Structure 1
Amino acid sequence: MSFYATLAESIQDNRKLKSLWIENLRHQGYKMAMPNDGWVDRENLTISLVYPHFNDGLNVGDKAVLGSHYEPKEVQYIKITYMRKGLVGGVRWGFKYID
């Protein structure tokens, strides 16, 4: 198998894994998942939804996920506690960690 064929297969496999991961989270009632990266303020417990894996209309009180299907053991589960609109646009969502 050529390098490009192997790469294409790997990309397709990754998309399938991500789709299954998202489907499972939705089935469990999670409304959003996003990377646990620089858009997560761990000190003030806020997030900005810059590039979520999925967002089914996040609202206060909803369950969400920080992390990725790449590292399922590193995923953190949160509950949205408030929404604050910024002065220049943008929205910050407050959260608390849940089990």
Structure 2
Amino acid sequence: MGIIDKLNKDFDSRVRLGIMSVLMVNDWIDFTEMKSLLNVTDGNLASHSAALNKLDYIEIKKEFVGKKPKTSYRVTNFGRASFVSHLNSLEKLIKNK
């Protein structure tokens, strides 16, 4: 198995890579802030975050603040471990070891 085979295909998308990167350094982050940080559309963020949630990499919390809906995200322990492994594989690939 080569180094490239150890990369996680679930993180191939730049949007998913961005979501995971943001969540690695933040506890909870809301939809609006995530959308702004990544400069993506509502639909793009919603579809990629739903896919990451389905794979148990992130948790999605939907609640109402007053009468307004609020969606927030955080990385799961499984997601954190999987993303760190992906980053380690990327680093090995870059260093070509």
Give the TM-score category using the shorter length: 0.3 to 0.5
Q: Relative CO higher for 1 or 2, CA cutoff 8 Å, sep ≥ 6? A: 2
What TM-score, normalized by structure 2, do the two folds share? 0.33
TM-score by length of 1: 0.33
Greater per-residue helix proportion:
2
Q: Which has the higher strand share?
A: 1
